[in-house]
Amino acid sequence: MVKIKHFIQQSWLLIVASFFFGLLIAVANAALSERIEQNRINKLNRLTRALLPEAENFIALDTEIEIESTRGKKEKVQVYKAVSEGKCVGWSFNAAGSGFADKIELVVAVDKDFQKLAGFDILASNETPGFGDQIKYDYFRDQFKGAPAEELKLVSIGSANPGEIDSEIVAITGATISSEAVVEIINNSITQIKNQMQKKGLIGNAK
Amino acid sequence: MPNNSEANAGFYKDTLLAGLWRENPVFRLLLGMCPTLAVTAAVKPALTMGLCVIFVLLCSNLIVSLMRNLLKPHLRILMFTLTISTFVTIADLFLKAFVPRMSETLGPYVPLIIVNCIIICRAEACASKNPLIVSIIDALGMGAGFTLTLCVLAGVRELLSTGKIFEAQVMPDWFVPWAAMSMPVGAFITLGLLLGLVNATTGKKA
């Protein structure tokens, strides 16, 4: 009994303050969480809309798609269906993997048959400014627009016809991990998602 | 008592100026080096970080000063950390809600204000021993000093790494940007040179 009294005497301020501060954070969180979630959705929508300009609306797919990440861990992927006038015009999904400095999170868009990539954009990354973060630049990202949605190949020497869109992606430099990482993330997710969507009958078996 | 209030005013002014120069947290006390090195690649994030630190410093000094007579010596650091982390979390939520892009740029460095030594140092050295008004003035002075140094450092780095200040072009066309200045190496070199400059101008021996 004496011990409890001593404990309360010593720490009553801490206990009261914890409750008070907890309440303060709860109030701030309740007031702001809706806006924060909305910001996240807005960003995703803004990026996907730029990739699939003809889409009017994005519908989250109820079907669960699970893929193995580059590290071999099972991960759930939320796939969005891009719709225009009731018809499917494409698909988009998020993909992540490790880059040079930190995790790279991408949003990837493909056409309605999962045949061609519509492009990708970066949700979050922390690559070296001026070097690795060139994965954000148009010259690198444009190589993916219209590329076949299958295993992409990374080459360090540009192809004979630079404007050509094929499964070859020219790296930022041969030693840049960031461009390698992007290709790896897309390769890893796209084939697995394609397979699962074909199995579940969401897209036709083209081949 | 005219003498007393005059002495008080002098003391307040002294406290305010101490943070700005004589005890400048970055140049003189060498505290809070993590944000100083990490978020000074451009002026905007540096300014945002500075304002966040001012907010947290003000709130924590205020609360600590109010409860300074109730503090148990062996529990005081715990109380400081609790207070600081509360206001940092609020500041972080606020940035995420209203300036999401800036919040992404600053990344983990906003939550890391919790372990910023300046704030703990002021809670321990000033707020837990002084009345409310002195603590608030001290927080303003220290916060402003921190923000100013961060902006000076960021100004130098942004100018050399992009040729811009506050995202407005100031360098002539022939200027070649030094990409290295926006990387950690640029932060260390700039900080080192500025520290040397401050010591040289004030004649302080290393």
Q: Report percent pLDDT > 70 for chain A.
A: 95
Q: Is the pLDDT of residue A28 over 70?
A: yes
In the predicted structure, residue B205 carries a pLDDT above the cut 60: no
Q: Quick one: residue B204, left, alpha or beta (phi over 0 = left, psi -120 to 50 = alpha)?
A: beta
- Give pLDDT, residue B23: 85
Cβ(B174)–Cβ(B167) below 8 Å: no
Chosen for mutation from B62, B68, B81, B82 (greatest number of chain A CBs closer than 10 Å) is: B82
User: Which residue does chain A place closest to B105, by CA atoms?
Assistant: A126
Domain membership of residue B6 (yes or no) is no
In chain B, the percentage of residues whose pLDDT exceeds 90 is 52
Contact call for residues A178 and A172 (beta carbons, < 8 A): yes
Q: What is the pLDDT of residue B15?
A: 85
Tell me the helix, strand and coil percentages in chain B, rounded to 5.
75, 0, 20
**ipTM of predicted complex:** 0.83
According to the per-residue pLDDT averaged within each range, which of A189-193, B27-31, B53-57 is highest?
B53-57
Cα dihedral A179→A182→A183→A186 (10° resolution) = -170
- Mean confidence (pLDDT) of chain A: 86
From A13, A18, A129, residue closest to B182, measured CB to CB: A129
Contact at 8 Å (CB) between A47 and A120?
A: no
Confidence of residue B1 (pLDDT cuts 50, 70, 90): very low
Could you give the 3-state DSSP secondary structure of residue A145?
coil
pLDDT at residue A206 above 70? Answer: no
Structure tokens at A23: 């309440």
Residues A69, A97 contacting (CB under 8 angstroms) = yes
Higher per-residue pLDDT: A21 or B162: A21
Of A79, A20, A17, the C-alpha closest to A48 is: A79
Structural domain contains residue B1: no
pLDDT in tens, B105-134: 888 889 889 988 899 999 999 999 999 999
Please give the pLDDT value at position B204: 62
Closest Cα in chain A, distance from residue B128 (Å): 15
Flag if A13 and B93 touch (Cβ within 8 Å).
no
- Please state whether A203 falls in left (phi above 0), alpha (psi between -120 and 50) or beta: beta
Asked if the C-beta of A16 comes within 8 angstroms of chain B's C-beta atoms, the answer is no
CA atoms within 13 A on the CB side of B191: 23
Count Cα neighbours of B12 within 13 Å in the Cβ-side half-sphere: 13
Does B105 reside within a domain? yes
pLDDT digits (tens, 9 = 90+) for B41-86: 899 999 999 999 999 999 999 999 999 999 888 889 999 999 999 9
CB B25 within 8 Å of CB B115: no
Per-residue confidence band for B135, with pLDDT thresholds at 50, 70 and 90: very high
pLDDT at A166 over 50: yes
State the pLDDT at residue B179: 83
Residues β-bridged to residue A76: A66
Region B166-184 average pLDDT: 85
Least confident of A5-19, A126-140, B148-162: A126-140
Total beta-carbon pairs less than 8 A apart between chain A and chain B: 60
Question: Do residues B65 and B128 lie in contact, with contact meaning Cβ atoms separated by under 8 Å?
Answer: yes
Residue A36 and residue B78: Cβ atoms within 8 Å?
no
Work out the minimum CA distance from B196 to partner chain A, whole angstroms: 27
C-beta of residue B140 within 8 angstroms of C-beta of residue B16: yes
pLDDT at B199 over 70: yes
pTM: 0.80
Cβ of B67 under 8 Å from any chain A Cβ?
yes
A108 versus A165: the higher-pLDDT residue is A108
In a domain, B3, yes or no: no
Domain ranges of chain A: 1-50, 52-199
Chain A closest-CA separation from residue B169 CA (Å) = 18
Partner residue opposite A28 with nearest CB, options B71, B90, B183: B90
Chain-chain contact of A36 with B79 (C-beta, under 8 angstroms): no
Cα–Cα dist A40/A47, whole Å: 11
| Chain B touched by A122 (CB under 8 Å) | no
- CA end-to-end distance (rounded Å), chain A: 77
The residue range of the domain holding B141 is 19-202
Q: What is the mean pLDDT of chain B?
A: 89
On chain B, the residues whose CB falls within 8 A of the CB of A130 are 179, 182-183
Interchain CB contact of B176 with A (< 8 Å): no
Is the pLDDT assigned to residue A163 strictly greater than 70? no
Residue A207 has pLDDT above 50, yes or no: no
* pLDDT recorded at residue B47: 95
Q: What is the pLDDT of residues A53-111, one digit of tens each?
A: 888 888 888 777 888 877 778 888 888 888 888 888 888 988 888 988 888 999 999 98
Residues of A in contact with B78 (CB under 8 A): 14
Q: How many domains does chain B have?
A: 1
Structure tokens at A93: 């999904």
Q: Rounded to the nearest 10 degrees, what angle do helices B132-162 and B184-202 cross at?
A: 120
Closest by Cα among B33, B39, B89, B36 to B59: B89
CA-based nearest distance A197→chain B, Å: 33
